[in-house]
Structure 1
Amino acid sequence: MQKILDRIWALLTAGANAGQVRSPFTMVQIATLGLDGAPRARTVVLRQINRSQSAVTFHTDIRSEKVAELKKDPRIAVVACDLEAGLQIRLEGIATIVDRGERKDTVWNANRPRTLILYRAPLRPGTPIGSPGDAHVPPECDDAERSAGSENFCLVDIEVSKIDYLDLSPSGHVRVRFIRDSDSWQGIWVAP
């Protein structure tokens, strides 16, 4: 089971460090509880992995509904899959919003301007608009100083407490469930 756990963290790390070539584990789906109690799912980009802390991170707009949902109920689920390889990794954990401080600033400064322009948008994500152009970043934002929009940027750290790994290889399906116990992971085989 240790080899499988190592593989999980290696796949997630490759997803967060995709660079020029995206890994199947770069874009993952997250699920939260909506403010009305209904489930909500969306896709985010996996940005950082910290295996020693059993944490994964993505960033988002502080004005988004997912941030409000996580502030109300920090439980979150993540699904990552490689359809060609027949692999699925599911994570469960508790989210923490990082909206200030040195770490947030460091991550902001490490991102490409093309990524950061999203946070300069005048409207919060999900705002109804008359036409797509109404949500575009004004042209003067292209020349804005690098910190413009940083007030809308935040990290979402997920402290992972459960991992479910499913391998649907033709040679035989394998499924393992890991539960974090203090600083170690306990695994059990489960039926696929």
Structure 2
Amino acid sequence: MDLSTLTGSIWRELELANTDRQHQWRTPVLASIDTNGLPQARTVVLRKACHHTQTLQFFSDARSPKVAQLRASGQIQLVFWSSALKWQLRVSAQARVETSGAEVDKAWQGIKLGPARQDYLSPFAPGDALPNTVTTALDESPHLAIISAEVIHMDWLSLSSEGHQRAEISATAVRWLTP
């Protein structure tokens, strides 16, 4: 890999993962800090990647514990792994959460006709204990949150039998690191 084209290659893969449901970077692990200062990690689905704005986007139920965590501290890390590429990408980012507005309304228009609508219309919040008799009634308003992550730093690692490569990418540096 050439250092001068690495950043573009990474963003092309992220943008491809946004549209290709089979791309292994479509479901990274998002790590945050909970209200007790403990790390929390979970798999999320990449919904948008934009090289120009240096942002990644995910959806969540607005009642999810991760939304409260991100509102308390937006510092996150994402870990992407692709066995096909043999690439690991760790992304440090600043997250912000939106639960209303034009962007949320637009996202809901794309979700509301598909099976995922049930996830955002459930009368139960993620992690709630289910009652003995489960209702099929859905809420009238969606509980959709958009998590936008502004990329601050990337740590890229490529595994190869010819020699591993590692690089750091930020607004101030693009440089090789010891793998």
TM-score, normalised to structure 1, is 0.85
| 1:5 aligned counterpart, secondary structure | helix
Amino acid at match of 1:121: S
Please provide the CA RMSD for this pair.
1.7
Contact map agreement 1:85 1:169 (CA 8 A) in 2: no
| 2:116 aligned counterpart, secondary structure | helix
The 5 Å alignment of 1:24-173 reads 24-111=24-111, 112-129=113-130, 134=134, 138=136, 140-141=137-138, 148-150=140-142, 152-173=143-164
Q: Identify if the C-alpha distance between structure 1 residues 149 and 119 changes in structure 2 by more than 3 Å, giving closer, same or farther.
A: farther
| 1:52 aligned counterpart, secondary structure | coil
| 2:25 aligned counterpart, secondary structure | coil
| 1:109 aligned counterpart, secondary structure | helix
CA distance in 1, matches of 2:160, 2:45: 26
Contact map agreement 1:117 1:149 (CA 8 A) in 2: no
1:189 paired to 2:173 = no
Amino acid at match of 1:173: H
Amino acid at match of 1:66: K
TM-score, normalised to structure 2, is 0.91
1:17-76 deviation line (CA, Å, top 9, x unaligned): 12xx42001111000001111000000000001111100000000100000001111101
CA distance in 1, matches of 2:96, 2:74: 7
Give, in angstroms, the shift of residue 180 of structure 1. Answer: 1.9
1:175 paired to 2:153 = no
The 5 Å alignment of 1:13-24 reads 13-18=15-20, 21-24=21-24
Give, in angstroms, the shift of residue 130 of structure 1. Answer: 5.6
Q: Which runs of 4+ in 1 moved over 6 A?
A: none
1:50-104 deviation line (CA, Å, top 9, x unaligned): 1111000000001000000011111010001112432101100100101111111
Percent identity (aligned): 25
Gaps of 5+ in 1: none
Contact map agreement 1:164 1:176 (CA 8 A) in 2: yes
Indicate the residue corresponding to 1:3 in structure 2: 5
Gaps of 5+ in 2: none
CA distance in 1, matches of 2:13, 2:129: 37
1:141-183 deviation line (CA, Å, top 9, x unaligned): 4xx8xxx442x101000000000110002221100011124xx
